[in-house]
A and B are shown apart, each in its own frame.
Chain A
Amino acid sequence: MMDGNPLSDPALLGEADLGRLMPMFLWVAPTGHIRAVGPTLAKLCEGVAIVGLRFLDMFEIRKPQSARSMDEVRLMAGQRLHLGLREPPHTGLRGLVVPLQDGQGMIVNLSFGIAAAEAVRDHALTNADFAPTDLTVELLYLTEVKAAVMEELAALNARLQAAQRAAEEQALTDALTGLANRRALDTALGRVLDAALRGGKDFALLHLDLDFFKAVNDTLGHAAGDLVLTHVAAVLRGATRKQDTVARVGGDEFVMILPGPVDEATITTIARRIIAELEMPVTFEGEPCRISGSIGATLSTLYERPDADRMLSDADTALYVSKRRGRGRCTIYVPGLELPEDKRGAPDRR
């Protein structure tokens, strides 16, 4: 030998030292009987003195293939083995078989696989059951710390999601009435326009402006005005379906989008019902608040290529006509309907 060791056997180790290096080793005789066992592995077999028992009676080799004889085990020397205890809790193990010289049998070294935490719990193992060089304890540490961090992350995500939902809702809702706001209306209008252009799905656009609202505000105060607006919102919600959009786009201005098959008669009926309900006074501190509403509507079917600005402007024109005709009514736009010259661009709807 180069280093002067006269012996050819490099591992002149006692069983105890072998156990310190490899707390889960087995020394198996050529006959398949266990000659020695590492302290941690002995602990795994809970009170059963396994020295003298047969290796294959205690352990089941699962991969790369099962083995029924020691000859078959020997053939797998040097490969990574997946094994398990035959007795409950059937702890899964990894192993390596190294044959010894001169008919001394073989050394089998075992370790826990990825399910180390479970094994450590099942067998009540402690730090001292692992070799100082073994990183299993670090694996347990990581498992635990990862669980804690994931928990924090999940909680953070939940909080952020809730905050995002609240912010989105706030950004798209009118604070007083809870109706959609201008921004939400633009989005909804864009959506029905897309659907109309792609699939010929029709919709009606209604522009409502309250009549005599200013009088309520002026005589009974803003609190009365707010009450009226809340009432109007309830009326509009009641008169529309879930798929409709109702938006408050100004102090006393509202826009509704009603998707679905539309015809003038239906829209007129809906509009009249809304106006009739608006005219039923709400009471503020004993005083009735009387208002009405004028509506201008237009239908996507009137256009070859419906467009947001054009339709909003036409609904506005129709609304103006309603006002001119004496308020408290609905006008549906017809092509050719125009604002008088002096009212263009600045219709006075009060």
Chain B
Amino acid sequence: MHGLVNRSVQCFLRDTYGVARWASVAEEAGIDPSGFEALLVYDDALTDAMIDAAARQLGKPRDALLEDVGIYLVGLEPLRRLLRFGGVDYADFLQSLDELPDRVHLAVPDLDMPDLELKATGPGRFTLICGGEHDGFGAVFAGILRAMADDYGALALIEAGGGGGAETVGIELLEAQFATGRRFDLARPEGA
């Protein structure tokens, strides 16, 4: 798995549960305590070992943990900004998800994301299908979509696995502009 994915989980654990917890997860999973380099690629088994160890130590189901990872990622300003480039409002953003793997490839060519497909299932209802070799992306995207709805100020019901199948996310967009979303300027403020 790409270092960016591994490092995301590492930083999530460290920032949310503290350095000691991360060290303990790393030890259980057989990972060097200094963690992952963002731009190197690691064995897939290491990623699973890390997630399983964290889920066990924190007493959380794996999917709930991964959903929290998704929410955490949107809380990182640079990533939030990159996601906001996807669309002018939440509906537009949802429609841009199919393009996300290609966007990611533009930035980091060796980062393989699952194929994403958004299907309309009814008025304001969608299913996001994450097709890939790795399990767990569905839960991460459920977290991302939930946090991005808040970011855009949209009212939406997000359900991991809600499209039938583990790697799906069910989305029900109730109100596109329910609250004031967070600010997004196309150009980064100077010096930021």
Contact = CB atoms under 8 A, between A and B. Distances in A.
Interface stretch (B19-27, B59-67, B81-89, B123-131): B81-89
Nearest to A116: B187
B188 A144 contact: yes
B106 A137 contact: no
B85 A140 contact: yes
Given A140-B85, A141-B85, A156-B39, A120 B186 contact: yes
Interface stretch (A145-153, A278-286, A338-346): A145-153
B190 A121 contact: yes
Nearest to A140: B186
A235 interface: no
Interface in B158-192: 185-190
A128 B184 CA distance: 13
B107 A146 contact: yes
A127 B152 CA distance: 14
Interface residues of B, number: 20
B89 to A, nearest CB: 10
A124 interface: yes
Interface in A115-139: 117-118, 120-121, 124-128, 137-138
Given A152-B38, A156-B39, A141 B103 contact: yes
B38 A145 contact: no
Contact of A156 (B37, B103, B106, B189): B37
Say which size band chain A's interface belongs to: 20 to 34
A141 B38 contact: no
Contacts of B186: 120, 125-127, 137, 140
B120 interface: no
Contacts of B106: 141-142, 145
B58 interface: no
B18 interface: no
A124 to B, nearest CB: 7
Given A145-B82, A146-B107, A152 B39 contact: yes
Nearest to A153: B39
B157 interface: no
Given A125-B186, A156-B38, A148 B88 contact: no
Interface of B: 37-40, 78, 81-82, 85, 87-88, 103, 106-108, 185-190
Interface of A: 117-118, 120-121, 124-128, 137-138, 140-142, 144-146, 148-149, 152-153, 156, 159
10 contacts: A117-B188, A121-B187, A127-B88, A127-B186, A128-B88, A144-B85, A148-B107, A149-B107, A156-B37, A156-B39
